[in-house]
Amino acid sequence: MPRESVTNGASLRWRLLRRASYRGLRAFSYLLGRVWIRKIEGLNNLSSIVPSIFLCSYTCDYDFLILPALIQRELVFLGPEPIINNKGIVGWILKTNFIVFAKGEYPGYRFFREVIRNLTEYNRSIAFFPDAASCYGKEFEEKYVGIVKLAIKANVPIILIKIEWGKMNNSSLSRCNLEIGKRIYISPNNNEFHDIFFEKGGVTKFSALSKVDLQEIGRRLTLRLLASNI
């Protein structure tokens, strides 16, 4: 049997196993969500079948368990290496779903190519918690620059998700509220970023944008994520 056929067969089996694993994770997260989620605003913004990049606020590790309860499409988490060393159930679950930043290094070509494949070839969505990346990897810098590049290169929208936890009245049990924003495309057609792109002559490729431009787009996304209404 040709080696290529063996490789393709193994890849297919792994993808089917991963899909089944994710469905199990979704079922588990859904049960947790019935207990933990108090209110969801903007759930209709997740109705699109288009792969997306979910840019999420971060309060605690349980945020990672809430997200699969909402998203039917297979989800890939992005984060620094130390987070999968979490010894609790969160770390155990994420070991099969993370694409990992190499510790102490800025994400390189291999990482970039793998994420693009997940978005465009495998039709998976991406979830990124910038503040979690900062908590688990202090060396992790310029956390939004790569996300902005990915969104432009893969031509997928960014969706902001705010997760806020709070105690129930007269109870030690915490529950959360979720706010889901509308799809944001990083392009000259988006009035929010119109000035940045047209300072460069209306470019549409991230390679034509400077590091400062990408950081400014990331800063505006940060302000949206921190706003009371995203």
Average pLDDT rounded to a whole number, residues 91-99: 65
9 phi/psi in degrees, rounded to 5: -65, -40
Average pLDDT rounded to a whole number, residues 187-203: 81
pLDDT tens digit sequence for 137-170: 544 446 678 888 889 888 999 999 999 888 655 5
Q: What is the CATH code for 3-226?
A: 3.40.1130
Over 80: is that where the pLDDT of 20 sits?
A: no
Burial 152-179 (b: 16+ CB within 10 A, else e): bbbebbbbbbbbeeeeeeeeeeeebebb
Average pLDDT score, the chain: 77
What stretches of the chain show up as alpha helix (H) in DSSP? Answer: 3-36, 63-66, 89-94, 109-120, 130-136, 145-154, 194-198, 211-226
pTM across the whole model: 0.81
